[in-house]
A and B are shown apart, each in its own frame.
Chain A
């Protein structure tokens, strides 16, 4: 390959789109490293503290698209205090100062301020795509800056962010000259929207293919928007409430018939079930349906809707669908690949949620299923064994029993054998979340069989350090391990310290690890950041080494301890 000019190498590398492939290629030799780095346009950084913006810019001067993830995954569940970190500001500042022509920015679990958004909007003339998932720290004023200043904006996609909504005006900030929008998702905004501005924006965006509205957009406006955008592929309704005998509703029915391209449907944040028949004609074309925020659709209305959706590949619903409803899904949606069943009452105590029966039915009717997130009342080993046999193609398997240490209710045994069957049968499994009563045995199975496992989430499981050791020793491809409330301690933590440099991160909270264990690890592994989160002054500065650590988060890094850690985060 040394005989090829650089341009040829570069052309070959153009065909490599996955960042893992490009990372691998850059390790071959210094020539390849050089050619690869100058031609790389998309970079994925799974932990924003693993590298610095300056190093990123130096290595990849041609950067156009950046994806960054900030807080640890358990931050989603309130286990990480508010100002832990994950700020995007230093990244935007550094990129703005450089000559990088950033076009796309995708952030997950990061803190984004209005100032950051303002700076972003002013610094990159060709900025096209902004995707924010599970972020916080900004208001609609920041969105106004993006709307006003990004002249060629194509995508503004806000998913499940906590945004301070100052209402109304940001949509009006898109100038009349902005006609490039292809994707607009503001479903997570809680405030009012200027409906006239929205209609005008849609009217002048001929390339709009994805539109997800918030609760403030009524059905009348939806109808008018769909008239202007019959080529939509992805639609999220806002408030879907009206009198089914009204003229408006009849107009909607006619309009929807023209929307033959819709493949993804979501929303129904407020819904009048008697208005659902209007969407039946497009249900047959749907490949993706997200009703996980549609608490107003349940029982027979929900089932009637599902029966129209024979081509579904992805379905997100609430557990009020019940086992019976899942049987309908199983008989109707034979192409299903991804299923998520969320709890409709996250604090609930035994209402009609789903059980193992629903999952078994799904496994029989949907053999192509490869991704599952399933919140349920209970699970049995027998059911898991059946599911493992029926669906050997699982890539992601996340089971969450609402009572986290519940055994098999039929045999009263732990669920070790059930999960063991899953990992043994599903040879491509990359992500696994466990729950229920579990002993060290389940970890033995995981270490033995889960060869492709990259991410494991464990809670209230195991008996001893052996559990964690089985996993660390067995899962060669493990990248992310997050553990809470398990009896794993220093012995497991320190048994193979080199392992952590092959992983992105390890989270352990409410386990048996002590300050001594963490300090020892930090001393031996300088390229790990070992952070202790010390809330509520649990530990004094002169804490005794024997004291248990409540929350530890460690990750590999090339740039040493971070400088933006708050007082309660100690880097050892």
Chain B
């Protein structure tokens, strides 16, 4: 530790040190920090032999010291936390799904249809517009929405969506803005499965 400080003085690291406060004021107490820097490193005792070129070695150490003092509070460190890449990739995929939904485009499936569609939720101003667009796209109708009974024109189709938690919810219950921020995909349920999820039959 002493050698580090001596070296620091030699290279006048203090002058370039980043800190809070006016220049010229000495910090009396070193705050313990939760940053990544290893501020307790000391240089190993080394033979003449082992040093090769002392100057370049000192320079690289000093550079490291400098970097450590200036490092940001929560830099992302390679390989930390120690989680297998497989697991990290799985969870990254999950957050990317969320990000995709944040861009507005979500998949829409209709039970029984051969392929899915994608729509941009951000284009619509509210539920009536969205439902109309879905009805046009898939050629079906859902009827009127009511809080107590869901969709009730006797249609066998019910619009549902998957939210951030992975739950399947009835379209229309929550405020529009909450809906578009939490909707990951849409599914227009049909038939017996639609019963119970808000289709008064």
Contact = CB atoms under 8 A, between A and B. Distances in A.
Interface of A: 74, 76-79, 134, 160-162, 188, 241, 243, 245-247, 270-274, 292-293, 295-296, 298, 342-347, 349, 375, 400, 402-407, 412, 433, 437, 439, 457, 459-460, 462-465, 484-492, 512, 514, 516-517, 544-548
Contact of A160 (B42, B74, B84): B84
A77 B83 contact: yes
Nearest to A409: B34
Interface stretch (B14-22, B121-129, B137-145, B165-173): B165-173
Contact of A406 (B34, B38, B49, B189): B34
B77 interface: yes
A160 B40 contact: no
Given A245-B197, A344-B91, A405-B35, A188 B86 contact: yes
Given A403-B74, A484-B79, A512-B43, A272 B50 contact: no
A516 to B, nearest CB: 5
15 contacts: A241-B168, A343-B81, A343-B83, A346-B87, A402-B81, A457-B82, A459-B80, A462-B40, A485-B38, A486-B38, A487-B38, A490-B44, A514-B50, A546-B51, A547-B57
Contacts of B83: 77, 342-343, 346, 375
Given A245-B195, A346-B87, A544-B53, A464 B81 contact: no
A247 B194 CA distance: 11
Nearest to B46: A490
Interface string B25-59: 00000001011111011111110011111101100
B168 A272 contact: yes
Given A403-B34, A405-B36, A512-B43, A246 B193 contact: yes
A245 B165 CA distance: 19
A312 B1 CA distance: 49
B41 A161 contact: no
Nearest to B45: A491
Nearest to B89: A162
Given A273-B167, A405-B37, A407-B34, 7 more contacts: A270-B166, A272-B168, A298-B165, A400-B81, A460-B36, A544-B53, A545-B50
B172 to A, nearest CB: 17
A546 B166 CA distance: 55
B6 interface: no
B76 interface: yes
B90 interface: yes
B91 A400 contact: no
Nearest to B164: A296
B196 interface: yes
A129 B31 CA distance: 57
B66 to A, nearest CB: 15
Contacts of A274: 167
A274 B170 CA distance: 14
Contacts of B148: none
A212 to B, nearest CB: 14
A474 B94 CA distance: 45
